[in-house]
Amino acid sequence: MTESNGPQEAWAAALRAHGRRVTKQRLAVLAAVERHPHSPAEHILAAAREELPELTAQSVYVVLGDLTDLHMLRRFEPPHSPALYETRVGDNHHHAVCISCGRVEDVECAVGHAPCLTPHWDEDAKPMTIQIADVLYQGICQECQRTQKLPSNVQQ
Ligand SMILES: [Zn+2]
Ligand SMILES: [Zn+2]
């Protein structure tokens, strides 16, 4: 894949590998999420419609759900937010959310693999094998620190 082809060919190959047809709808949704990482479905719908005006909300929701099931998209739900989607899959990166404006930033996983936190079970009582630790950082982004009064419960 050369750079000028962008991720389109990789997406097409992944869709075929999963037995999905390579449709304009699927590619438009993937491209919209790629351009607007960490976006909710309604923003993805609006962005994908710039490319494909006839897209329906229903089809975008169906495609988002399907691509998430195929692990071609990652979906995560910060508190007080609709589900957000991104094309960055296959790594164990985490997210930092600004509790003031909702801005989301990717955070590299310090450990690099899941789970990156190990629970301290009692030695003889290990009720589960842990596969994923969902880490969500919450804080105040630089922009909000500059321009807004901080919530009273936040210490600088
Ligand atoms: Zn903020
Ligand atoms: Zn991310």
Q: What is the pLDDT of residues 87-117, one digit of tens each?
A: 999 888 999 999 999 999 999 988 878 888 8
For residue 66, the model assigns a pLDDT of 98
Helix 57-69 / helix 24-35 crossing angle, nearest 10 deg = 80
Region of poorest pLDDT, from 2-11, 15-24, 67-76, 115-124: 2-11
100 C-alpha vs ligand 1 centroid, how far in Å?
A: 5
What ligand is nearest to the CA atom of residue 88?
2
**Which CATH code, of 3.40.50.1110, 1.10.10.10, 1.20.1340.10, 3.40.50.300, is assigned to 3-84?**
1.10.10.10
Fold that domain 91-149 belongs to in CATH: Dna Ligase; domain 1 (3.30.1490)
The phi and psi torsions of 39 (rounded to 5 degrees) equal -110, 150
Domain ranges of the chain: 3-84, 91-149
Phi, psi of 137 (to 5 degrees): -90, 140
DSSP 79: T
pLDDT band at 1, cuts 50/70/90?
A: very low
Kindly report the pTM of this predicted structure: 0.84
